[in-house]
Structure 1
Amino acid sequence: MSTVRLTAVATALTSFFALAAVSPPAPGASGVGDPYFPNLGNGGFDALHYDLDLGYTPSSGRLDGRTTLTARATQNLSSFDLDLQQLKVEGVTVNGSPAPWVRDGDELRVTPRSPLPKGRRFTVSVAYGGAPHPLSGPIVGSDYGWMKTPDGVFVAGEPNAASTWFPSSDHPSDKATYDIRIRAPKGLTAVSNGRLVSTYDKGGSTYTRWRESRPMATYLATATIGKFDVRTGRTPGGIPVYVAIDPVLKNSNGVDVYAVTAAATDYWSKVFGPYPFEETGAIVDDMPEAGFSLEVQTKPLYSAVRNETTIVHELAHQWFGDSVSVARWKDIWLNEGFATYAQWLWAEHQGTRSAHDSFLAAYNAQPADSPFWRTKVADPRRDTMFTPPVYQRGAMTLQMLRERIGDTAFFTLLPAWVKLHRYGNADTADFVRLAEHVSGQRLDGLFHTWLFTEGKPAL
């Protein structure tokens, strides 16, 4: 056989195998497969940036929006899903061209005119509208999501309510950056994530634009609107601060929200590593029906501030939960146990009680036969993922770890954890591995006892 013919055969075989290796276009999965929320998030693409353009009318409760998502295909896509609850879709485009779409429960399935090649960036824009309603049920124990207030709206989306107000890949494993523009009636203030880019009045409306340039999970986004007294400045360490407080709550039970926010942000920056975002702050809104606070990225959202430990808890989440987010919801103790332990560290810092004494108080408060000890903290189940054991026993685990490996290793571990997974996702196994690496000790028994075992551990 001639050299020319051999070359031709080799070229043909190479082309054949190259073609065979390319998967044909297929639909992206309708969810990321989280055991607690199987249909949350979406397969086939990686969300990169959300551009939200929102208009809200408090008198009617109507929201009109256009969300443009920039994403990267992670497979050859024939179609893909977005999570969207309740609201009516008015039109969809992909890369600027109209695209067919269908609704299937809380899924919006989009079919681009041409398949999207793996690795290619694309944009999908969805126009929609309606009156969002809050979600309820045992997960949170009260209403949550998009909640009307007397003068606007209180928006707190954990864990699965972001998709009640914008189409998204609504799972913390798919983080993105954000531009959020909000139109509200003149005289109201719209507060969102990141830094304020612009605000101006036109006609009877106020237009506000916020930009979050660091990756953010969908549930941490907010578009809270109302009458607020706003104070801005910098922490003593130089971090920009934006605090908005409903005038009805201006006394905040005697807590100086601005001062505590500034002090705690600076202190956690020393303990946990550099503050991970461009701005810190708070939103305090008159929403007693909520009965909870949320670690909204850059501006924790409070239905009321009862004491300063609430503030230090939510600010600790900026590191544990916001910058480092859970890979799956079953690892929620990595958020709540760490933020609860931060409260103990704050009391230690203030000289009021050591973290060891806080541990003993929490440990002794629960008798051995209490249901408290029957929760497996590392997998607490969906409907009990925000119950006290996840917070308290999660914090106890960290104190036991600190006492096992010593302060030097422990306070090396915390900032190392944040630095290693900054703006990303992690799970319990990742934390155990790092703790063992930093300490040089085998720790699987300790974590098994405190996170995975039912029953009250012996001291």
Structure 2
Amino acid sequence: MPLTSRRLRAALLAAASATLVAATLPAPQPLGIGDPLFPYLGNPGYDVLTYDLAFTYSGDNTKPLDAVTKIDALATQPLDRVNLDFTHGEVRSAEINGAEARFVTVGEDLVLTPRKPVKSGTRLRITVNHTSDPGGRGGGWLRTSDGLAMANQADAAHRVFPGNDHPADKAYYTFRVTAPEQLTVVANGLPEGKTRRGPNTTWTYRTHHPMATELAQISIGTSAVVHRQGPRGLPVRDVVPAADREKLEPRLRKTPEQLRWMEEQVGPYPFETYGVLVAGADTGFELETQTLSLFERSLFTRPEYPDWYVESVMVHELAHQWFGNSVSPHRWSDLWLNEGHATWYEARYAEEQTASATSAPAGRSLEERMRSAYTRSDGWRAAGGPPAAPEPPTAGAQISLFRPVVYDGSALILYALRQEIGADAFQRVERAWVSEHRDATATTADFVSLASRTAGRDLTGFLTPWLYGEKTPPMPGHPDWRSEAPAPRHGAPRPLPKPE
């Protein structure tokens, strides 16, 4: 229908108005939510409710994937522009609330300008057509021997898709991945079906609980998916290279019992499914991606690793499903709550396993491990800061945030707390923590408050030096323990370091 003169004037006026508004706005700039360890991570002004991520994989893991990211969010303040964390991909077009939006990349932010300013309290529907590049370093897509997986911690999810890349903004996810029909795709959550079209198949998965961007996972490869049952009928599915299915089974079949053991410690498993993803890649780490923990193949196949060690590392990642995934850090300085707890349950499980072992060298008891950590604690604090106030990561090497002080150095705080308030009160703290903050984020101050309420007395004075002190406080019940400050020692205290 041709434009009438009135409609033409209205259209020209709207275009001129949009141009004038754009001219009066300040230059686009990268924003952040104020995390002192990652100043430009996350974005203010909106709360993401859902992500709908679509990727098309050609079968060549050196080539960028075509992708469409759809975000449903709630504006928490008036927005003339919307910043998304995104880098390492080409943006082809963008829309906000169904209308085309201008876009520009500044630093590692994708800055969108809507046709009309967005009012506080209104829904914000964003669509970005882009590519997702598996090349380069720094996390994000992980190339495997037969395809791709993801390793997004701590700040690499925005190398894969645009979003609000900070654990403070958790959301629900839908994944739609199209790949050649001979490949298998698995992602966080439960499958919602697959559709065959020509030589390709589209697989759909959906999470039933909110998730931080750093915990997103997609596996594409010549994989076997092994199904079994966990406690109370929980669906457990492991994703392994098809050629290794039988070889890896002795390790993988331990997962249901490990789930039962963790539930005995802290209560019901918090998600809709769990499983192990074994990647044909040399990563040097394992990663607790939500409902589908990532492990490198060599952990399960190298003969020098005893059973108790491998299984305790599996429990470390499993424990993260409660500590770090269900209860996520509100700021990255709260990371000790993730890693200290995962290390704590790893050490306790190893102690129980080795106590019942009748052959092969046994690992250390929990007390021996904590005493060793106490000896090194002052050195770890000097090298990387105290557990709850870590030094920022080395520029260009964000993985350096994951230092010994956030592993055994943080588990030491939990040991000290148990020594101070007793084993029964400590267990009540642990169970209440994962129950009260399920599917949410929490801070160090929240933990101190909960511990105090549970113990029936204010523990701020006791815990503050453990959390923030330059020196390690005296250990309750062990007045003879001493900590030294040797030359800084980098790398995790166990033989297979992991970056989370």
Shift of 1:61: 2.2
C-alpha distance in 1 between matches for 2:335 and 2:231:
32
Q: Does 1:42 align with 2:50?
A: no
SS in structure 1 at match of 2:205: strand
- The code of the aligned residue for 1:313 comes to H
- For the pair 1:301 / 2:303, whether they are aligned, the reply is no
- For residues 78-157 of structure 1, the aligned pairs below 5 Å read 78-136=80-138, 144-157=139-152
CA distance, structure 2, for counterparts of residue 277 and residue 197 of structure 1? 16
For 2:304, the equivalent position in structure 1 comes to none
Which one-letter code corresponds to 1:397 in the other structure?
A: I
**252 and 363 in structure 1: CA distance in 2 versus 1, 3 angstrom threshold:** farther
Distance 1:410 1:244, change over 3 A: same
Question: How many residue pairs get matched?
Answer: 426
- What residue is the counterpart of 1:266 in the other structure? 260
CA contact (8 A) 1:134 1:146 kept: no
Name the structure 1 match of 2:457.
441
- Give the conservation status (yes or no) of the 8 Å contact 2:225–2:239: yes
Q: CA deviation at 1:152?
A: 0.6
**2:305 equivalent to 1:292:** no
For the pair 1:371 / 2:379, whether they are aligned, the reply is yes
The Cα RMSD (Å) is 2.4
* Other structure's SS at 2:462 match: helix
Distance 2:377 2:336 in 1: 22
SS in 2 for 1:65: strand
What's the offset of the Cα at 1:233?
A: 2.8
Paired AA for residue 302 in structure 1: F
Q: Which runs of 5+ in 1 are unaligned?
A: 1-24, 137-143
Provide Cα deviations, 1:217-271, integer angstroms capped at 9, x if missing partner.
Answer: 00100112111111113214311111111135446677421x2221222222232
Find the counterpart in structure 2 of residue 61 from structure 1.
Answer: 63
**In structure 1, how many angstroms separate the alpha carbons of the residues matched to 2:165 and 2:373?**
37
SS of 2:420 mapped into structure 1: helix
Q: What corresponds to 1:403 in structure 2?
A: 419
Q: Secondary structure at the match of 2:208?
A: strand
**Secondary structure at 1:230 match in 2:** strand
Aligned position for 2:431? 415
Counterparts of 1:268 and 1:203, CA distance in 2:
44
Contact kept, 8 Å, 2:373 with 2:408, in 1: the verdict is: no
Q: In the TM superposition, what is the alpha-carbon distance from 1:145 to its structure 2 partner?
A: 2.0
Letter paired with 1:297: Q
Per-residue displacement from partner, 1:74-124 (whole Å, max 9, x unpaired)? 011111100101100000011111111111121111111112111111200
SS of residue in 2 equivalent to 1:394: helix
Report the equivalent of 1:181: 176
List runs of 5+ in structure 2 lacking aligned partners: 1-24, 301-309, 357-361, 394-399, 476-500
Asked whether the equivalents of residues 175 and 204 of structure 2 are also in contact (C-alpha less than 8 Å), the reply is yes
Q: How many Å separate the matches in 1 of 2:107 and 2:440?
A: 29
**Deviation per CA, 1:268-320, whole angstroms, max 9, x where unpaired?**
223222211111111111111x1111111011111133411111111111110
- Deviation of 1:208 after TM superposition, in Å, equals 0.7
For residues 57 and 447 of structure 1, what CA distance do their matches in structure 2 show?
53
Give CA deviations for 1:336-370 in whole Å, capped at 9, x if unaligned: 00000011232355472899942433433664697
- Relative distance call for 1:156 and 1:405 in structure 2 (3 A) is same
Contact map agreement 1:330 1:382 (CA 8 A) in 2: no
- What are the residue-to-residue correspondences of 1:321-332 with 2, within 5 Å? 321-332=324-335
Separation of aligned partners in 1, 2:426 and 2:180: 50
Q: Residue by residue, what CA displacement relative to the aligned partner does 1:188-214 show, whole Å, maximum 9, x if unpaired?
A: 111110001112432222211110121
1:372-430 deviation digits (Å, cap 9, x = unpaired)? 24231111223242111210011111111112111221111111111111111111111
C-alpha contact 1:84 1:164 (8 A) present in aligned 2: yes
TM-score (norm 2): 0.80
Measured in 1, the distance between the counterparts of 2:91 and 2:224 equals 35
Asked if the contact 2:67–2:132 (Cα under 8 Å) also holds between the matched residues in 1, the reply is: no
Q: Do the aligned partners of residues 98 and 434 (structure 1) sit closer, same or farther apart at CA in structure 2, a change above 3 Å counting?
A: same
Q: Take 1:48 and 1:252, find their aligned partners in 2: how far apart are those partners?
A: 41
- Contact map agreement 1:28 1:43 (CA 8 A) in 2: no
With over 3 angstroms needed to count, the CA separation of the structure-2 counterparts of 1:190 and 1:134, relative to structure 1, is farther
User: Is contact 1:356-1:399 (8 Å) kept?
Assistant: no
C-alpha deviation, 1:453, in angstroms: 1.8
Distance 1:85 1:389, change over 3 A: same
SS of structure 2 residue aligned to 1:397 = helix
Between the aligned partners of 1:244 and 1:346, the Cα distance in structure 2 is 24
2:410 aligned residue: 394
User: What secondary structure is seen at the aligned counterpart in 2 of 1:213?
Assistant: coil
Which residue matches 1:11? none
